[in-house]
Structure 1
Amino acid sequence: MRKDLTKIALVCTFFLATQLTTYAQNKKYGSLSFNKAVNISGKQRMLTQRMGKIYLYLLDNPNDFKAQKNLKITKIIFEKQISILDKNASLLITKNKLAEVKDTWEKYKKFIESTPNKKDAEKIINTNSTILKYANNVVNAIILESKGGSSDDSYVAEEDSELKQIINKAGRQRMLSQRLALYYFANKPDLKNKKTESVLRNVYSELDNALNDLLVSSFNNDRIDEALGDVTVLWESVKENNDKLFKQGYQDQEIYKLSNTLTKLFNKITNLYEKVKVE
């Protein structure tokens, strides 16, 4: 019995070593670079929040046909990107994390696809954090998978790992930009509950703190600094009037547009980090 267990352990060790050797040779996530995979998986987090935000917005703005179209497009992109990430995944842990997202998505999608109503809006408020958590787990799994393809040079390997973390952090800002508006709408008198205001304040704080981290990143170049300058100017205007955020001082269209502008700026920054080369 003990010999059999030893053989199994040796086989598992050999299999894992073979996988990691393959990653070390390819240094890719299937047909994608790992930087691209971290970026795409990070964007999935944003899309979960964007769908929830649009749904809550449509509660009081049911005739905004552009928002209706954006909700449908976002749903399609989310599903297509799940398929791409799943197709290119190699490690079982990554595939399992993607399976969790797909399973949760089937439930979340039913709320998103309904004609906007208060009952399903409340369900979205109560469940959006779950699918967000699972989507975030996929990002972490891909970053873990990428470490199997690190360079033999320990310095380069560490730099490469830090770059993926900064891509992750910048990408997370896209999600927080959408989540900020989602919880602004969730904080309306007819929807708010014990948690909605605290979530809104936590999102605001994380956005602010993470922006400071990006501003001092060693990976910044002239183009990234310029893009960070653009988003900082906009964010400072939000901070200077944060009472509007916490006391429902924005018009629906205003906060909707603000979240999209922030997302667009952070998306540009994330894409620029993705293209940084570690040598």
Structure 2
Amino acid sequence: MLSRLVPTLLFGLALLCPTAWAGISDAEAMNLSGMQRMLSQRIAKSYLMIGAEVRSEVAIKQLDQSVARFESNFIALSEYAPTPQISAALMTASDTWQVYRELALTRPNREQSVRLLQLSDQLLAQSEQVVQLIERHTGSRSAHLVNLSGRQRMLSQRIAKLYLAVSWRLPISGLEEELLKVTEEFEVALQVLLAARQNTPQTREALHKVEAQWRFARAGFRLSSDSRYVPTIITTTSETLLWQMDGLTSAYEKIMQQDA
């Protein structure tokens, strides 16, 4: 089903994406490379949603769009790559991506989910390396905010992915501990962003909205302590967090552009 639909969708969206046509700036590269981290987790989250029958129709669309966007981002970043180290890191991630994409587009089941989550973590680590290399290359003081805000996008999807894996009771050790760890990472990073001196009145207001949404999401995590899982609520609130943080990342990208 998915394997037949996505190649056509992927090809069309990749052609329509502006980043696949034109060269991108350092600030745009920071944003897109950070987005690759998020997509590595969003694809796995969508796969688990389909397998666990949690808003399956929505998840199929998310999976299709995420695969297509990862491809178009990769094209743009490959054309941008200003150093041999960044090019090499992109190619390493590409090797994992080919295997991950093929598995992600198969019909979800519990057995394959274990391998899929391993690949999603591997691709995340490789994408993180690309982000770090680009940040060091730019030398921009504001690049760290684009990086950190973009990482919050990833954490919103990683949290949802891990929550689904726990609630679906996948046979992977340490899932609950990792879920606790990433929720704390999100909290700490949110406080760092709130304290950033580069914030404008608009970014402060947006961050306070994220903070309110985050408090609501954490209430759902507490419900799972007695095995009363609420995956539909968590996937919905994490989606709101994703788009809130995506808007903030774009705002920090503009600040970085102004500092250039």
What interval of TM-score do these two structures reach, taking the shorter chain for normalisation? 0.7 to 0.9
In the alignment, the residues of structure 2 paired with residue 202 and residue 218 of structure 1 have an alpha-carbon distance, to the nearest angstrom, of 27
- The answer on 1:209 being equivalent to 2:201 is no
- The answer on 1:58 being equivalent to 2:50 is yes
Q: Give how far 1:126 is off.
A: 2.3
Between the two proteins, the alignment pairs up a number of residues equal to 237
- Aligned partner of 2:13 in structure 1 is none
- Farther off after superposition, 134-143 or 173-182: 134-143
1:128 counterpart (120, 128, 136):
120
1:114 counterpart (86, 98, 106):
106
1:87 counterpart (53, 75, 79):
79
Amino acid at match of 2:196: S
Do 1:184 and 1:248's aligned partners in 2 also have CA atoms closer than 8 Å?
A: no
- Aligned partner of 1:21 in structure 2 is none
Q: Give how far 1:62 is off.
A: 7.4
Q: Give how far 1:124 is off.
A: 1.6
1:35 counterpart (12, 27, 32):
27
- Aligned partner of 2:259 in structure 1 is 278
In the alignment, the residues of structure 2 paired with residue 235 and residue 61 of structure 1 have an alpha-carbon distance, to the nearest angstrom, of 25
User: Percent same amino acid at aligned positions?
Assistant: 30
Do 2:224 and 2:230's aligned partners in 1 also have CA atoms closer than 8 Å?
A: no
SS at 2:259 equivalent = coil
Structure 1 unaligned blocks of 5 or more: 1-29, 148-160
For residues 259-278 of structure 1, the aligned pairs below 5 Å read 259-276=238-255, 277-278=258-259
Do 1:111 and 1:121's aligned partners in 2 also have CA atoms closer than 8 Å?
A: no
In the alignment, the residues of structure 2 paired with residue 230 and residue 181 of structure 1 have an alpha-carbon distance, to the nearest angstrom, of 19
- Aligned partner of 1:163 in structure 2 is 142
In the alignment, the residues of structure 2 paired with residue 114 and residue 66 of structure 1 have an alpha-carbon distance, to the nearest angstrom, of 17
- The answer on 1:100 being equivalent to 2:88 is no
Q: Give how far 1:225 is off.
A: 0.6
- Aligned partner of 1:180 in structure 2 is 159
Do 2:29 and 2:80's aligned partners in 1 also have CA atoms closer than 8 Å?
A: no
Q: Give how far 1:109 is off.
A: 1.2
CA RMSD of aligned residues (A): 1.8
Structure 2 unaligned blocks of 5 or more: 1-21
Do 1:114 and 1:120's aligned partners in 2 also have CA atoms closer than 8 Å?
A: no
Check 1:63–1:272 CA distance in 2 against 1; reply closer, same or farther (3 A cut).
Answer: closer
- Farther off after superposition, 240-249 or 89-98: 240-249
Q: Give how far 1:108 is off.
A: 1.0
- The answer on 1:226 being equivalent to 2:218 is no
Amino acid at match of 2:61: K
